[in-house]
Chain A
């Protein structure tokens, strides 16, 4: 088998080499660049030797560990050597500019004869994207997933109090943002604005956001973008390693500890495993003037992975469980419209409690399980077949304030209890390279059913959702240009069973079940291009058409949920009119990226998203209930347009001084009503200055850094008519933050320690996207201590 594999590789190499000798004369300026870092400390390694074979080009990395070659198209072996570290080799197929980074393992590992495999180069995306990895990710540890992603320009979060953050990409969220948790689309009650993603962010070693429609690859829910939560790849060198994160926050007394242990057996190098777990607890958040009652939360999560990997095939099993209890600000659960108006008029919560970790009603109790099995087999010449099957269970119980002597109070029953079961299966074949063409075809299926527990309210009816999709994406790459085109077709079969109540003449009630079935075929298509104008400038453009069939909540939600009365379109649609139809979005994006420059780097993205039949919630005429009058949030369809600009800029002021600026501006219109749309992020600007001190390599402490950050958010003035929002948008605000950190050597362990302060001036402010802005201020001053210990127990 080994022989066969080597033979195939050799053949491939020979063929490619042969093909490319003819074009070598005019195409030998493909940039191949990368950075060499220490695997543990992630510190750049200066003076490492990088050799490209065939051709015997060699270079040494610069002070930051960067290297740079220009090569002809073809397949190359890259070799990286550095004294004190294991030599690494990887194969690179060069059709266009490529970036290959290496993380070298200290020598102790090599003495045991570690084998190192290069990771595959991901094809560049035509959409704009942003990532949090390494230190940038480290600086978000302890935060919720949606809060961490706010670091990326163009990504905001719909917030519900201090603990619930829902990622929003270019103004779209919930049913329009797909979250891929370790390669599996997160499925649960993701429709709810106050339902944060049920994912432990500590599991990620890479958080990537694709900003723009990626529906062809990830399904119709990815019309607004995709959040990719990627755990670290399973360990590929013999030994046992561990990673421990500790976080403490001053404002809400948050304490978090997360640890991961991974290993690879020397005697069985194909087998790798990882165990990971997180405990987190926080108490009442403090605003500058008062504490927020009942805003504590706690989480306990764990995951396990085991993988079997050979050169030509691999299999991985993964299981994770997420458990969370989230206290809801008690004064934000208002009953009717009069209570809402009174709370707004009061201007602050009725209670200013003492600090406590205790969580009372109202709260949310969540559990999410994911079990996944994935396998791949290489099909020769770059081809690869991958199959994934995953099962998810999502339980969400919402406990409202009730009388403790009632039946539910005595038994502590929830008012809402959803249960969602989802099975997804995906098969993708990346076909072997054919000339300048690479590409993949795939099939995906989802089978899902949703229930509510007996004895709780029907807010979402029983439903069963079957979707099936097929896609093809082809990439054509020649020298500095990559073109991509994709097509997808989805079928959604949604069956609902809704409980209805009727009344006999003697006013005794009887029940019925209303069954409905909605079937839609929805196409998606995309074209895109990536052009390396020169070594330092990359241009991207993409255009996409996506149709998305409505979800169950958009049709049939009904009732009071989190103090708000919500109603699906098909509940109250006028008699004789058709049910809710799919929405169609036309997405355009252009991005220019300046990269690998010594001084000035940055990225600019301009986008437009036209959505016909945009499904959104809007306040309707008040309805009368025994609890008083409510403002109903009804699902409606309209034609909408989102336009915006994201920009980020890095400028090296002087050696070790880095200036960074970010800006995100978005405009969203309701084209039917010729008005603005509600809950669109206000203009946001950020500026930071960072100073680094490398320090002595052998010193007990090195890698010092300090940064100061200013964030300015303008008031959202582009809001719909006053009748569509119970309160006008809050004022703009500016926040000051700062962070200092260093790496301490404890024995051979580099311990990263940092101290970060946010809202240092303790400013009173309310964010437009915080759904609790009607009731209370946002978080006051907060200081966060983070400690990160990477441990290696490799036998010597």
Chain B
């Protein structure tokens, strides 16, 4: 009779013991993250259709994502008063082989818009989008570029993700990418 009094408590204490002898099922190491949706690299390739300029590719690359090491940026050196055709590509180079995000954007081009903003707005370059989605709205994966005569400036490229809200303007959605390249004309 006397011992039965303490039995439930003894059971509770016994159950508490694993805690003090916590065997480690917890010594695994983190595995490399497989961050879907990661864009590490943006390439904008311009091929001249007139004049004597060379094909050039601008590249913006940040392999370790937000924070960490600084990005590497290769700007555009273009010929003045020249026409180019442009193609843009978005890559995830943390994967081997690199993951081509451009394909995903093309598949869902009715939710995406690429915006090209030269600075200064006039005199540096004039960019027009040449591709359209199923709703007859521009996409911007392919472009025509006409350079001007200004010596230098910047080009900002934004990939807008606008699920369900795309209306041809920049406002809806949010930036999946937003990078700025230096541009020189000579």
- Quick check: B33 and A458 within 8 Å, CB to CB? yes
A402 to B35, CA, bound (A): 12
A623 to B69, CA, bound (A): 11
- Quick check: B6 and A377 within 8 Å, CB to CB? yes
**Chain B residue nearest in CB terms to A632:** B67
Instruction: Tell me the residues in window 6-26 of chain B with beta carbons closer than 8 Å to chain A beta carbons.
Output: 6, 8-9, 11-13, 15-16, 18-20, 22, 24, 26
7 contacts between A and B (CB under 8 A): A333-B174, A404-B108, A456-B34, A560-B66, A624-B70, A624-B71, A625-B62
Instruction: Tell me the residues in window 524-574 of chain A with beta carbons closer than 8 Å to chain B beta carbons.
Output: 558-560, 565, 567, 571-572
A335-B178, A401-B163, A626-B71 in contact; A315/B8 too (CB < 8 A)? yes
Q: Which of B6, B32, B36 contacts A402 (CB 8 A)?
A: B36
Q: Which of A333, A351, A408, A624 contacts B164 (CB 8 A)?
A: A351
Q: Which of B12, B70, B107, B172 contacts A405 (CB 8 A)?
A: B107
- Quick check: A401 and B161 within 8 Å, CB to CB? yes
Instruction: Name A residues whose Cβ lies closer than 8 Å to a Cβ of B.
Output: 1, 308, 312-315, 333-336, 338-339, 342, 346, 350-351, 373-377, 385, 387-389, 400-409, 413, 415, 423-425, 427, 445, 447, 449, 451-452, 454-458, 461-462, 464, 466, 497-499, 501, 503, 507-509, 511, 513, 558-560, 565, 567, 571-572, 623-630, 632
Q: Which residues of A contact B71 (CB under 8 A)?
A: 624-626
Q: Which residues of A contact B62 (CB under 8 A)?
A: 625-626
**Chain A residue nearest in CB terms to B68:** A501
Contact with A along B28-43 (1 / 0, CB 8 A): 1111111111011110
Q: Which residues of A contact B8 (CB under 8 A)?
A: 308, 313-315, 375, 377
Q: Which of B18, B36, B96 has the most CB of A within 10 A?
A: B36
Write the nearest CB–CB distance from A662 to chain B, whole angstroms. Answer: 40
Q: Which of A405, A565, A626 contacts B177 (CB 8 A)?
A: A626
**Which label, helix, strand, loop or mixed, suits the secondary structure of the A interface?**
strand
User: Other than the known A351-B172, A387-B13, A423-B19, what 13 A-B pairs have Cβ atoms closer than 8 Å?
Assistant: A313-B9, A314-B8, A375-B11, A377-B8, A404-B108, A445-B19, A462-B29, A509-B63, A565-B66, A625-B62, A626-B71, A626-B179, A627-B177
Q: Which residues of A contact B41 (CB under 8 A)?
A: 626
Q: Does B105 contact A (CB under 8 A)?
A: yes
Task: For chain B, give the interface size range.
Answer: 35 or more
- Quick check: B33 and A336 within 8 Å, CB to CB? no
Q: Which residues of B contact A376 (CB under 8 A)?
A: 9
> Which 6 pairs between the two chains have the least Cβ-Cβ distance?
A628-B178, A408-B36, A335-B174, A375-B12, A449-B26, A335-B175
A404 to B174, CA, bound (A): 16
A735 to B178, CA, bound (A): 42
- Quick check: A373 and B175 within 8 Å, CB to CB? no
Write the nearest CB–CB distance from B141 to chain A, whole angstroms. Answer: 14
A22 to B105, CA, bound (A): 89
- Quick check: A415 and B175 within 8 Å, CB to CB? no
**Chain A residue nearest in CB terms to B27:** A464
**Chain A residue nearest in CB terms to B174:** A335
Q: Which of B36, B65, B173 contacts A455 (CB 8 A)?
A: B36
A80 to B59, CA, bound (A): 84
- Quick check: A339 and B36 within 8 Å, CB to CB? no
Number of A-B contacts (CB under 8 A): 193
**Chain B residue nearest in CB terms to A459:** B33
Q: Does B165 contact A (CB under 8 A)?
A: yes
A462 to B35, CA, bound (A): 16
Instruction: Tell me the residues in window 156-179 of chain B with beta carbons closer than 8 Å to chain A beta carbons.
Output: 158, 161, 163-165, 171-179
Q: Which residues of A contact B32 (CB under 8 A)?
A: 499, 501, 511
- Quick check: B18 and A423 within 8 Å, CB to CB? yes
A313-B5, A405-B104, A628-B178 in contact; A373/B94 too (CB < 8 A)? no
**Chain B residue nearest in CB terms to A351:** B165
Q: Does B60 contact A (CB under 8 A)?
A: yes
Q: Which of A313, A458, A571, A626 contacts B30 (CB 8 A)?
A: A458
Q: Which residues of B contact A458 (CB under 8 A)?
A: 30, 33
**Chain A residue nearest in CB terms to B13:** A387
Q: Which residues of A contact B175 (CB under 8 A)?
A: 335-336, 338-339, 627-628
Q: Does B64 contact A (CB under 8 A)?
A: yes
Instruction: Tell me the residues in window 47-75 of chain B with beta carbons closer than 8 Å to chain A beta carbons.
Output: 60, 62-71
- Quick check: A626 and B42 within 8 Å, CB to CB? yes
Q: Which residues of A contact B4 (CB under 8 A)?
A: 1
A404-B108, A423-B22, A503-B69 in contact; A373/B178 too (CB < 8 A)? no
Q: Which residues of A contact B165 (CB under 8 A)?
A: 350-351
Write the nearest CB–CB distance from B112 to chain A, whole angstroms. Answer: 8
**Chain B residue nearest in CB terms to A415:** B37
Q: Which of B19, B28, B31, B103 has the most CB of A within 10 A?
A: B19
Instruction: Tell me the residues in window 83-128 of chain B with beta carbons closer than 8 Å to chain A beta carbons.
Output: 93-94, 96, 101, 103-105, 107-108, 111
- Quick check: A389 and B19 within 8 Å, CB to CB? yes
Write the nearest CB–CB distance from A515 to chain B, whole angstroms. Answer: 9
**Chain B residue nearest in CB terms to A563:** B174
- Quick check: B104 and A403 within 8 Å, CB to CB? yes
**Chain A residue nearest in CB terms to B159:** A627
Q: Which residues of B contact A624 (CB under 8 A)?
A: 70-71
- Quick check: B37 and A403 within 8 Å, CB to CB? yes
A559 to B104, CA, bound (A): 24
Q: Which of A346, A567, A626 contacts B39 (CB 8 A)?
A: A626
- Quick check: B16 and A389 within 8 Å, CB to CB? yes
Q: Which of A315, A338, A627 contacts B176 (CB 8 A)?
A: A627
Write the nearest CB–CB distance from B34 to chain A, whole angstroms. Answer: 4
A457 to B70, CA, bound (A): 20
- Quick check: A336 and B178 within 8 Å, CB to CB? yes
Write the nearest CB–CB distance from A49 to chain B, whole angstroms. Answer: 36
- Quick check: A513 and B29 within 8 Å, CB to CB? yes
- Quick check: B33 and A350 within 8 Å, CB to CB? no
A402-B36, A455-B34, A501-B64 in contact; A342/B12 too (CB < 8 A)? no
- Quick check: B177 and A464 within 8 Å, CB to CB? no
Write the nearest CB–CB distance from B21 to chain A, whole angstroms. Answer: 10
Write the nearest CB–CB distance from A51 to chain B, whole angstroms. Answer: 32
A455 to B37, CA, bound (A): 11
A333 to B174, CA, bound (A): 8
A342-B171, A425-B16 in contact; A456/B33 too (CB < 8 A)? yes
A402 to B163, CA, bound (A): 9
- Quick check: A387 and B67 within 8 Å, CB to CB? no
A449-B26, A503-B63 in contact; A509/B94 too (CB < 8 A)? yes
Q: Which of A313, A425, A457, A513 contacts B19 (CB 8 A)?
A: A425
**Chain A residue nearest in CB terms to B96:** A508
- Quick check: A625 and B9 within 8 Å, CB to CB? no
Write the nearest CB–CB distance from B63 to chain A, whole angstroms. Answer: 6
- Quick check: A407 and B30 within 8 Å, CB to CB? no
- Quick check: A503 and B64 within 8 Å, CB to CB? yes
Q: Which of A335, A400, A409, A461 has the most CB of B within 10 A?
A: A335
- Quick check: B31 and A454 within 8 Å, CB to CB? yes
- Quick check: A457 and B29 within 8 Å, CB to CB? no
A423 to B22, CA, bound (A): 9
Q: Which residues of B contact A462 (CB under 8 A)?
A: 28-30
Q: Which residues of A contact B94 (CB under 8 A)?
A: 501, 509
Q: Which of B26, B30, B41 has the most CB of A within 10 A?
A: B30
A625 to B180, CA, bound (A): 11
- Quick check: B36 and A385 within 8 Å, CB to CB? no
A511 to B163, CA, bound (A): 34
- Quick check: A402 and B108 within 8 Å, CB to CB? no
Write the nearest CB–CB distance from A733 to chain B, whole angstroms. Answer: 28
**Chain B residue nearest in CB terms to A333:** B174
Q: Which residues of B contact A406 (CB under 8 A)?
A: 36-37, 101, 104
- Quick check: A625 and B172 within 8 Å, CB to CB? no
A506 to B22, CA, bound (A): 44
Q: Which residues of A contact B68 (CB under 8 A)?
A: 501
A401 to B34, CA, bound (A): 17
Write the nearest CB–CB distance from A392 to chain B, whole angstroms. Answer: 12
A509 to B39, CA, bound (A): 15
A628 to B177, CA, bound (A): 6
Q: Which residues of B contact A374 (CB under 8 A)?
A: 12
Q: Which of B15, B29, B69, B171 contacts A373 (CB 8 A)?
A: B15
